[in-house]
Amino acid sequence: AETMKETPIQEQTAVIANSQKPVLTPLHLDFGTTIAADLASVSNHENFYTYELVESIAKFLLERVSVRPTIGIICGSGMGPLADMLSDKVAFPYETIPHFPTSTVPGHAGRLVFGKLNGVPLMCMQGRFHYYEGYPLWKCSMPVRVMKLVGVTHLI
């Protein structure tokens, strides 16, 4: 029987899954970029958001809203108007949130919006941060960590 050759991503996943220590190997994306430097900086505890810093961002937001969201929505392109449909809405432009990056993509509103949709408490990200904008991966993923600390249990 013919065996399938593993792709670099499958090989790396297998190495990481079978390892006791973090494995830092370059992951080459289709457009030729490597994220090894980002992985190394996080592994070495350089330039990343600590739990305490993310917690301070969550506390900043929770002190200013009465809604306790259980659902988080990361609005993709064309989905921003969903946040405008929320009732009891409180919006935070990213530049007003301590330690929060700002979105540079045209058309992204660049704000976190808390409110209710059909009575369900949620928060929406209107605009994201992308690796191709020059943000490191640890910064791109930070809003999801904030969502968890404000009470989000389900992410869309």
Percentage of the chain exceeding pLDDT 90: 37
Is residue 40's pLDDT more than 60? no
Under 8 Å between Cβ of 68 and 121: yes
Domain-by-domain residue ranges, the chain?
8-43, 51-155
Query: Residue range 45-64: average pLDDT?
Result: 86
Amino acid identity of residue 116, one-letter, is K
- Model pLDDT for residues 2-37, shown as the tens digit of each residue: 444 444 444 444 444 444 444 434 444 444 444 555
Is residue 156's pLDDT more than 50? yes
Q: 33 or 141: whose pLDDT is higher?
A: 141
In 3D, which of 33, 61, 38 has the Cα closest to residue 145? 61
Q: 76 or 55: whose pLDDT is higher?
A: 55
pLDDT given for residue 126 in this prediction: 87
Query: Residue range 61-77: average pLDDT?
Result: 91
CATH fold for domain 51-155: Rossmann fold (3.40.50)
d(CA 117, CA 81): 12
- Spatial CB neighbours of 23, under 8 Å, sequence gap ≥ 6: 12, 15, 16
Under 8 Å between Cβ of 121 and 70: yes
pLDDT given for residue 62 in this prediction: 97
The string of DSSP letters for the chain reads: -PPPPPPHHHHHHHHHHT-SS------B-TTS-B-HHHHHHHHTT-S---HHHHHHHHHHHHTT-S---SEEEEE-TT-THHHHT-EEEEEEEGGGSTT-----STT---EEEEEEETTEEEEEEES---GGGT--HHHHSHHHHHHHHHT--EE-
pLDDT given for residue 81 in this prediction: 76
pLDDT given for residue 9 in this prediction: 44
Under 8 Å between Cβ of 138 and 48: yes
Residue 107 — very low, low, confident or very high, per pLDDT cuts 50/70/90? low
pLDDT given for residue 142 in this prediction: 87
